[in-house]
């Protein structure tokens, strides 16, 4: 009887994994016939990558290329590599990825890394390695940030990630629980996942239409430890859900997604704000961030864990201490309602309203694709090597929209849309 039960569970998991792969290709990427696809993924995600590869070829992909990462090899570098290793990055590889995107390839990232992989490593080495990677990756990142291509992110339940989310459960049970959460958040369990995503995208688009019609000049966040006014960039545009890339293909950049987001003005953010969830950044957990903004720039920053890494991040470049994104997410979102802390930005940012340090998205401007870097900067866009989301929303946070004339309108109360 147990053998039959185990076989049934295995069959169910295989079917759901296949549906997640289908969602990644059809909904996440909107892959076009004849298009190439570049995938980045951890080694442990091989089963999912193979399902995605099959669906990509069935959708007409001309070529699927996967670049795998190995966490054990990453740790070996931090434990044994010479000092100058941490100022280097595989620029040749990222140049190749940028060339692929210029040639029209789509991009899919599979996440599932150990959230605390580098927690015990030298913060200076971590910061230097991240800075070197950010600089080398910039030619490829620019193609993604500009939405030149269709791209998306999906997730895989690795044992290390599962142990972090469910530390009191046996590893096998923890992995199964994390898979259940990923499938649910990705709408894989719906009778027709593609149709479910279509309805969800329509709801997000209705929300963005409302916000774009109101043309608020700022957002005001208030709650425990938070009194923050986020001025919005001139000619900003709200986005959320499926969007059309500049190559004409419709994609969902994040699987899952619950947010609507836009561009803050890089010099019009003032006040204090406290994070409501830990930030997992490049293998380091940063907990209980508290910062003060003045004229758009962070002038004071603390954290009870990972503070040294946070300070190194803020020193990456001039734009690293300014905002590139602000997003609104209801506290009742399915990911928040799960009650889980995922220690993974892709999920946790869709459980709470959030802000992002660093680079702005040019797509979050009216006619942004036609604007030069100078035009974007003049409208308040921020420029940086980084783009790091961290969560500031909860069931205790209120948000008001502030008009150009100073009048206010309630947008969220207790973390919920009014």
Q: Kindly state whether residue 245 falls inside one of the protein's structural domains.
A: no
**Quick one: 314 and 362 in the same domain?**
yes
Q: How confident is the model at residue 10 (pLDDT cuts 50, 70, 90)?
A: low
Contact between 388 and 358 under an 8 Å Cβ cutoff? The reply is: yes
pLDDT at residue 1 in the model: 45
**Quick one: 120 and 34 in the same domain?**
yes
**Quick one: 141 and 279 in the same domain?**
no
**Quick one: 133 and 226 in the same domain?**
no
Q: Kindly state whether residue 249 falls inside one of the protein's structural domains.
A: no
Distance CA(5)–CA(145), nearest Å, equals 46
**Quick one: 351 and 313 in the same domain?**
yes
Average pLDDT of 311-340?
Answer: 94
- Which range marks the domain in which residue 86 is found? 2-185
Q: Does residue 6 surpass a pLDDT of 80?
A: no
**Quick one: 56 and 10 in the same domain?**
yes
Distance CA(297)–CA(282), nearest Å, equals 23
Name the average pLDDT for the chain.
Answer: 94
Q: How far is CA 329 from the centre of its chain?
A: 13
Q: Kindly state whether residue 326 falls inside one of the protein's structural domains.
A: yes
**Quick one: 274 and 179 in the same domain?**
no
pLDDT at residue 295 in the model: 98
pLDDT digits (tens, 9 = 90+) for 159-175: 999 999 999 999 999 99
pLDDT digits (tens, 9 = 90+) for 257-312: 999 999 999 999 999 999 999 998 877 889 999 999 999 999 999 999 999 999 99
pLDDT digits (tens, 9 = 90+) for 88-112: 999 999 999 999 999 999 999 999 9
CATH no. for residue 174? Answer: 3.40.1830.10
* DSSP designation for 32: P
**Quick one: 179 and 43 in the same domain?**
yes
pLDDT at residue 3 in the model: 53
Q: Kindly state whether residue 201 falls inside one of the protein's structural domains.
A: no
**Quick one: 84 and 13 in the same domain?**
yes
Domain count, the chain: 2
**Quick one: 299 and 380 in the same domain?**
yes
Q: How confident is the model at residue 5 (pLDDT cuts 50, 70, 90)?
A: very low
Least confident stretch, 114-118, 207-211, 372-376: 114-118
Q: Kindly state whether residue 244 falls inside one of the protein's structural domains.
A: no
Q: How confident is the model at residue 219 (pLDDT cuts 50, 70, 90)?
A: very high
Predicted structure pTM score: 0.88
* DSSP designation for 29: I
pLDDT digits (tens, 9 = 90+) for 117-169: 998 899 899 989 988 998 999 999 989 988 899 999 999 999 999 999 999 99
* Of 388, 353, 84, the residue nearest 221 (C-alpha): 353
Q: Kindly state whether residue 152 falls inside one of the protein's structural domains.
A: yes
**Quick one: 180 and 264 in the same domain?**
no
pLDDT at residue 264 in the model: 98
Helix axes 123-145, 71-80, angle to 10 degrees: 140
Q: Kindly state whether residue 207 falls inside one of the protein's structural domains.
A: no
**Quick one: 103 and 169 in the same domain?**
yes
The percent of residues in the chain predicted with pLDDT above 90, rounded, is 88
Distance CA(267)–CA(293), nearest Å, equals 10
Q: Does residue 73 surpass a pLDDT of 60?
A: yes
Q: Kindly state whether residue 253 falls inside one of the protein's structural domains.
A: no
pLDDT digits (tens, 9 = 90+) for 22-46: 999 999 999 999 999 999 999 999 9
């Amino acid at each position: 009887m147990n053998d039959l039960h185990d076989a049934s569970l295995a069959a169910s998991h295989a079917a759901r994994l296949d549906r997640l792969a289908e969602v990644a290709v059809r909904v996440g990427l909107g892959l076009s016939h004849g298009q190439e696809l570049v995938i980045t993924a951890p080694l442990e995600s091989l089963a999912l990558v193979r399902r995605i590869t099959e669906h990509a070829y069935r959708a007409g992909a001309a070529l699927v290329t996967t670049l795998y990462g190995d966490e054990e090899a990453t740790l070996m570098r931090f434990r044994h590599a010479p000092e100058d290793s941490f100022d280097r990055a595989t620029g040749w590889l990222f140049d190749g990825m940028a060339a692929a995107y210029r040639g029209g390839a789509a991009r899919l990232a599979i996440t599932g890394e150990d959230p605390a992989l580098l927690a015990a490593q030298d913060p200076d080495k971590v910061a230097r390695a991240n800075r070197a990677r950010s600089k080398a990756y910039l030619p490829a990142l620019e193609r993604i940030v500009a939405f030149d291509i269709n791209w998306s992110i999906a997730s895989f339940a690795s044992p290390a990630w599962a142990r972090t989310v469910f530390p009191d459960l046996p590893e096998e049970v923890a992995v199964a629980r994390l898979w259940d959460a990923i499938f649910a958040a990705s709408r894989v369990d719906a009778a027709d996942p593609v149709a479910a995503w279509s309805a969800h995208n329509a709801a997000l688009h209705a929300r963005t239409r409302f916000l774009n019609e109101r043309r608020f000049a700022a957002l005001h966040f208030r709650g425990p430890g938070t009194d923050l006014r986020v001025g919005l960039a001139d000619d900003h545009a709200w986005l959320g859900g499926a969007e059309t890339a500049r190559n004409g293909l419709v994609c969902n950049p994040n699987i899952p997604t619950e947010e609507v987001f836009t561009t803050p003005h890089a010099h019009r953010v003032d006040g204090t704000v406290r994070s409501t969830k830990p930030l997992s950044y490049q293998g380091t957990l940063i907990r209980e961030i508290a910062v003060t903004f003045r004229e758009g720039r962070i002038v004071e920053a603390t954290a009870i864990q990972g503070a040294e890494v946070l300070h190194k991040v803020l020193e990456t470049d001039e734009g690293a201490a300014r905002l590139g994104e602000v997003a609104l997410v209801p506290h009742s979102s399915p990911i928040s309602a799960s009650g889980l802390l995922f220690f993974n930005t892709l999920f946790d940012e869709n459980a709470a309203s959030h802000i992002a340090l660093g680079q702005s998205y040019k797509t979050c401007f009216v006619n942004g694709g036609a604007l030069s870097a100078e035009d974007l900067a003049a409208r308040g866009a921020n420029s940086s090597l980084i783009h790091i989301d961290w969560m500031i929303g909860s069931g205790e946070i209120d948000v008001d929209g502030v008009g150009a004339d100073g009048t206010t309108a309630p947008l969220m109360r207790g973390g919920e849309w009014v």
